[in-house]
Structure 1
Amino acid sequence: MNNFTFYSPTYFAFGKGTEKEAGRLIKRFGGSKVLIHYGGGSVIRSGLLDRVKESLNKENIEYIELGGVKPNPRSGLVYEGIDLCRKEGIDFILAVGGGSVIDSAKAIAAGAMYEGDFWDFFEGKPIEKALPVGTVLTIAAAGSEGSGDTVITKEEGMLKRGAGSEVLRPKFSILNPELTQTLPAYQTACGAVDIMAHVFERYFTNTKEVEITDRLCEAILLTMIKEVPRVIKDPNNYEARANIMWAGMVAHNNLVGVGREQDWASHGIEHELSALYDVAHGAGLAVVFPAWMTYVMKHDINRFAQIAVRVWGCHMNFANPEETAREGIERFKQFLKSIGMPTTFKELGAREEDIPLMVEKLGLGENGTIGSFVRLNSKDVENIYRLAL
């Protein structure tokens, strides 16, 4: 296990009706004038936004609103939010929605405290200061409610990039599983794949002797395998929704990633898909990950065989562990299909002729690589896209 530091200070309020605590928590963490940031009409139609605003009114907290966040959140609204925060003297941002809303809120929070272009942070500049952020989560997926990460799409060139800093970890996050019960099955499944992908990015590592985090990763994956079919069958299953919602947070606050080298190639490869076609991130990951697994599997057959046995219930073939590894990947693909996810370019609506463009936009050039488990160059990425056809 590698040396590490781990600091995860987010306060979590979990359970039924917890959105009513938003005002009290904002006051606890020093907010006095708030930007409420949200997406489309669902938070309005459901009455969630009104309940949140009522909780702020009870605490005499002033607020303004900025809606309109789209999936794969855009830079244009981030610029608008930054200008609004500066003009109105905002000292706290409350994100009401899913990962896209939270990511947009984090980008605004960083940009509002920076004199330059916020996109500098998505090209490598460290984020040192940000307005405090709180969240009211409406979908279990991205894990942004517990992480210091954010992903934004720059509309000029449609470049999808990530940034991160400990200062972006939310001060508090409100997690009410009831708020996810109205999600369509497809959106629920996309979120589930995102959660599992965050675990895979950490599980496939070159670091040796990481049994504790291996087992934590496996526990999250087993939970998803059990609970996702239950909520697809019965969207109102609160207990299954609760397990999925907490799994989403634990999968990405880095508890399961400490002390081990992490990969993140598949996320980078997928970002070009969702940037170009505007597909759901989880759906893109469902296409990319089995292809990536197939391509890199021989780098560490035993690790792939281990997850096949421990998570997918395969029988270990000691004479031919590659057979076990391949069976595990196939069972993963069958699970994806069983919850309504695509596993090929065709199902996603992606086109073979766009592969060179996606490889180019990834920006690796002639000598650059992506990933750590296996360092992939541009040709490797092209091969993975073609495996997904």
Structure 2
Amino acid sequence: MVTPLKKFKLKYADTTLFFGEKSIGNLETWVHGKQVVGLVMSRTAAKNSGALQEVLEILSRHSIVHVPYSDVTPNPYASQAVSCAELFRKERVDSIIAIGGGSVIDVAKTVSILVKSNLSPTELVKGVKPENTLPLAAVNLTHGTGSEIDRYAVLTFEETGEKRGFTARYPEVSIDDPRFTLTLPRDQTLFTSLDAFYHAYESATSLYTNMFVQTLSSEAAGIIVKTLPEALSNMKSLELRSRLLYASMIAGISIDIALTHLNHALEHTFSGLNPRLPHGEGLAILGPRIIYHVHKAVPEDSAIILKHIDPSIRPLSGDAEKAYVAVREFQNRLGLKRKLSDYGFGLDDIPGIVAYTLRIIRERYKTTPVNVSEDVLKDIILDAL
């Protein structure tokens, strides 16, 4: 019997992360001296997970006023960050706690900047750096994005339909308490875990990768491949959730260092056009055929991750088709069934999406190991439709 993961404290970049059951108690020290805390949440997850109640109890013990903002949606819009910042500015919030997954934490990162500056989300995307930010803590509720440990945020801009990632800031304190992931439904358990898997794969195969990234990414992928099938059959296992949460966190460090590339570039295009497409599901729908092209380009790096799915995949370009089939069948066994066509995409959408994706890869995804052409993108999209 494998013993459950023990609690630990990790200092990475500007974040102090507390990992483990009941690690939320470490917020007690962070909230000391604060007077008005803004809470950034989605509509139901913070409450359903039990995290909101425990945060409120901590704030109550310290007689701290809280101001809730609970309108964050999956694939959040920039306007949500602006609205939240306006509310927190009006209520004189002096610090922020994000209680949620990647979408919530990304909005909270942005809000912590906007409240203390005259900057807009558009200016942040353009790389304008803030002089001051509000103190920010993150209580993470999913084992997917790694946003609790990285510096990035992703927002969708309604006026253009563009989904843009940008450098925001690190949380000061992050809580990875696996108890709060136990209420994730099956679909979100699957999608968030596959999100973390593709973080591991893309960072390990990025042109910015290194030995440290590949060590973390291989460990993350190995845990996810072994643990996710078990977790989907035993949704209330705290130990299995802990392992998936740990894998997501270390994969978050990997993308913080080496970034993502082709899959995130293409998925952001699709979920920007249709925010109903869950990010992790979009990555998984597109992923197998992207892995075919990536394995052809950088087979040694690719095989470091894919050996966990099929140890017979060789670090050779000639095994690209085998890699594609192995990942596709792995995801099928987990119950990934939908395609892009289930979200309203069709053949008529391909020319515009190809043209846009080619442009953003040239402009923003210098990490991409594949020589991306129209034919490559069409091949990937047709497979995903």
State the TM-score, normalized to the length of structure 1: 0.86
Q: Is 1:335 paired with 2:335?
A: no
User: 1:291-331: per-residue Cα shift (whole Å, max 9, x none)?
Assistant: 222234322334444544x322332669xx34434323321
In structure 2, C-alpha distance between the alignment counterparts of 1:186 and 1:169, rounded to whole Å: 28
Q: Are 1:35 and 1:94, in contact at CA under 8 Å, matched by a contact in 2?
A: yes
Further displaced range: 298-307 or 187-196: 298-307
**Residue aligning to 1:217:** 217
5+ long unaligned stretches in structure 2: 1-10
Which residue of structure 1 lines up, in the alignment, with residue 227 of structure 2? 227
Q: How does 1:87-236 map to 2 (within 5 A)?
A: 87-165=90-168, 168-206=169-207, 210-236=210-236
Please name the residue that 1:33 is paired with: 36
**Does the CA-based 8 Å contact 1:286-1:343 persist in structure 2?**
no
User: Does the CA-based 8 Å contact 1:11-1:173 persist in structure 2?
Assistant: yes
Amino acid at match of 2:204: Y
Counterpart residue number, 2:60: 57
Q: Identify the match of residue 298 of structure 1 among 296, 299, 303.
A: 296
- 1:203-282 equivalences under 5 Å are 203-206=204-207, 210-254=210-254, 258=257, 262-278=259-275, 279-282=277-280
**Cα 1:172/1:65, change in 2 over 3 Å:** same
Shift in CA distance, 371/385, structure 1 to aligned 2, threshold 3 Å: farther
Partner of 2:6: none
Query: Mean alpha-carbon deviation: is it higher for 282-291 or for 342-351?
Result: 342-351
Extract unaligned runs of 5+ from structure 1.
1-5
Amino acid at match of 1:374: V
Aligned-partner SS, 2:184 = coil
Q: Partner amino acid for 2:284?
A: A
Selected match of 2:45 from 42, 46, 52: 42
Distance verdict in 2 for CA 1:263–1:123, change over 3 Å: same
Question: What amino acid does structure 1 have at the position aligned with 2:308?
Answer: V
* Residue aligning to 1:3: none
Alignment partner of 1:284 out of 282, 285, 288: 282
| Residues 158 and 276 in structure 1, CA contact (< 8 A), matched pair in contact too | yes
Deviates more, 1:104-113 or 1:15-24: 15-24
Flag the 1:75–1:205 CA change in 2: closer, same or farther, 3 A. Answer: closer
Aligned pairs for 1:309-320 (under 5 A) are 310-315=307-312
Which sits farther off after the overlay, 328-337 or 225-234?
328-337
| CA-atom RMSD in angstroms | 2.7
Contact 1:305 1:322 in 2 (8 A): no
Spell out, residue by residue over 1:177-198, the C-alpha distance to the aligned partner (whole angstroms, 9 max, x if none): 1111121111001001110111
Segment drifting more, 108-117 vs 88-97: 108-117
CA gap of 1:374–1:324, structure 2 versus 1, over 3 A, is: closer
- Contact kept, 8 Å, 2:41 with 2:70, in 1: the verdict is yes
Distance 1:55-1:367 versus aligned 2 partners, 3 A rule: closer
What letter matches 1:187 in structure 2?
Answer: Q
Q: Distance in 2 between matches of 1:365 and 1:238?
A: 40
Among 351, 357, 375, the alignment partner of 2:352 is 357
CA distance 1:263–1:134, change in 2 (3 Å)? closer
Secondary structure of the corresponding residue to residue 151 of structure 1: strand
Alignment: residue pair count:
373
Alpha carbons 2:39, 2:99 under 8 Å: kept: yes
Amino acid at match of 1:283: E
- Of residues 37-46 and 237-246 in structure 1, the stretch that sits farther from structure 2 once superposed is 37-46
Offset at residue 365 of structure 1 (A): 7.8
- 1:314 and 1:292 mapped to 2: Cα distance? 19
Residue 367 of structure 1, CA deviation: 6.9
> Closer, same or farther in 2 for the Cα pair 1:216/1:14, shift >3 Å?
closer
How far apart, in 1, do the equivalents of 2:361 and 2:190 lie? 36
2:236 counterpart SS class: coil
Distance 1:306 1:224 in 2: 14
Provide the C-alpha distance between the structure 1 equivalents of 2:206 and 2:60, rounded to a whole number of angstroms.
48
Identify if the C-alpha distance between structure 1 residues 229 and 151 changes in structure 2 by more than 3 Å, giving closer, same or farther: same
Distance change >3 Å, CA 60–CA 262, structure 1 → 2: closer
- Cα contact 2:182–2:236 (8 A) shared by 1: yes
Name the TM-score, length of structure 2 as normaliser. Answer: 0.87
Tell me if the contact between 2:221 and 2:305 (Cα under 8 Å) persists in the aligned partners.
no
- The alpha-carbon distance between structure 1 residues 377 and 126, as it changes in their structure 2 partners (threshold 3 A), is farther
Give the partner amino acid of 1:26: V
Q: Give the alignment partner of residue 72 of structure 1, picking from 59, 75, 78.
A: 75
Could you tell me how far apart the structure 2 residues matched to 1:218 and 1:51 are?
34
* 1:79 Cα offset (Å): 1.0
2:78–2:155: 8 Å Cα contact kept in structure 1?
Answer: yes
- For 1:239-284, what per-residue CA distance to the aligned partner results, in whole angstroms no more than 9, with x for missing partners? 1100111111111123x774xx655221111011112222100000
Q: Is the deviation greater in 216-225 or in 339-348?
A: 339-348
